């Protein structure tokens, strides 16, 4: 049974599909009820697994508690948790307002804390668990103009490494995955924002990104999701505390 956060669209949805393909029952959340309900329905139809959903803002600790509680009431246990949320706006340091710093911390750090606080005690009792956090390649190599992602997501990678140490004895494996440029709505929005700021077309922005990617193209959400599904599986039984780039070779460093 897998809880996949922020899963009505994009990478979260692709992960939900990949886990459903492996036969996992699902609990999905996002803020917009209509999009979420449609996604839950489509996944249930396509893969024939039970799919529970609840509109939830992941920055709201009480709402996350209620979502996980309702999931456990429905399925009896949670084996897999995938932490995800929307991305912060693209800004430079000089133009970033204090409120934007606080919002990015709530959205991309505290949302993970809220989810794992609900999941870990339950996984501890059953002595089995898999948690995967979705962050970004900015954890490994900062991207100019994404100061909030560059700064805040590194904290999630540190959290994951610490939790992996603390919970290994309970057979709970915790890893972080770092998407590169992957073709989702978020990326389309980012290309449009950067294009407007630079006075070029969104296609030009995408072409520039592709020049820096050794594989020469954007990633597909299902390619990303396949790695997450592996990390959630029994096959990944000796992998914990890692941050894995799924980026077509974009990151220039060695690890
Ligand atoms: N795609 C890429 O190339 C890429 C690269 C690096 C990092 N990332 C990061 O990976 C994450 C997922 O990206 P994506 O491309 O899949 O984004 P996306 O296409 O914009 O999808 C975001 C999903 O998160 C949900 N969501 C957003 N804020 C939420 C909140 N506060 N509470 C609950 N659900 C929320 C959205 O639904 P609602 O709006 O209905 O809530 C939607 O289902 C983001 O943090 C993004 O910055 C993406």
CATH for 2-180+221-246 (3.40.50.720, 1.10.10.10, 3.20.20.80, 3.40.47.10): 3.40.50.720
Q: Ligand 1 pocket, 90 CB below 6 A? A: no
**Is residue 138 lining ligand 1, measured as CB closer than 6 Å?**
no
What does the block give as tokens for 245? 């780039």
To which residue do tokens 């804390």 refer?
A: 113
Dist CA 216 CA 24 (whole Å) = 33
Q: What's the rounded Cα separation, in Å, for the pair 75 and 72?
A: 5
Length of the chain: 255
What is the C-alpha separation between 72 and 74, in angstroms, rounded?
A: 5
**SS3 of 143, please?**
coil
The residues pairing with 51 across neighbouring beta strands, listed in sequence order, are 26
pLDDT in single tens digits along all 255 residues of the chain: 999 999 999 999 999 999 999 999 999 999 999 999 999 999 999 999 999 999 999 999 999 999 999 999 999 999 999 999 999 998 999 999 999 999 999 999 999 999 999 999 999 999 999 999 999 999 999 999 999 999 999 999 999 999 999 999 999 999 999 999 999 998 999 899 889 989 999 999 999 999 999 999 999 999 999 999 999 999 999 999 999 999 999 999 998
Domain boundaries, the chain: 2-180+221-246
Q: What residue's CA is closest to ligand 1, atom 14? A: 10
| Among 35, 64, 87, residue to substitute to test ligand 1 (most atoms within 8 Å of Cβ) | 87
Instruction: Output DSSP code: residue 80.
Output: E
The closest-lying atom of ligand 1 relative to the alpha carbon of residue 182 is: 3
């Amino acid at each position: 049974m897998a809880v996949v956060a922020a899963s009505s669209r994009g990478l979260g949805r692709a992960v939900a599909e990949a886990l459903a393909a492996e036969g996992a029952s699902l609990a999905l959340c996002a803020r917009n009820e209509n999009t979420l309900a449609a996604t839950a329905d489509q996944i249930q139809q396509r893969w024939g697994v039970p799919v529970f959903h609840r509109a939830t803002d992941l920055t709201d600790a009480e709402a996350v508690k209620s979502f996980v509680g309702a999931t456990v009431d429905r399925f009896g246990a949670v084996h897999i948790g995938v932490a995800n949320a929307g991305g912060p706006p693209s800004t430079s340091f000089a133009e970033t307002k204090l409120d934007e710093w606080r919002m990015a911390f709530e959205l991309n750090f505290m949302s993970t804390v809220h989810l794992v606080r609900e999941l870990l005690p339950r996984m501890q009792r059953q002595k089995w668990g898999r948690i995967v956090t979705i962050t970004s390649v900015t954890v490994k190599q900062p991207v100019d103009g994404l100061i909030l992602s560059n700064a805040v997501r590194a904290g999630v990678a540190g959290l994951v490494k610490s939790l992996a140490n603390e919970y290994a004895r309970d057979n709970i494996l915790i890893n972080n995955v770092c998407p590169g440029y992957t073709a989702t709505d978020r990326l389309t929005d980012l290309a449009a924002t950067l294009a407007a700021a630079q006075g070029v077309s969104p296609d030009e922005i995408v072409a520039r990104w592709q020049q820096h990617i050794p594989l020469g193209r954007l990633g597909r959400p299902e390619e990303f999701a396949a790695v997450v599904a592996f990390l959630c599986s029994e096959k990944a039984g000796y992998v914990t505390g890692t941050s894995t780039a799924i980026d077509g070779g974009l990151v220039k460093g060695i690890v």
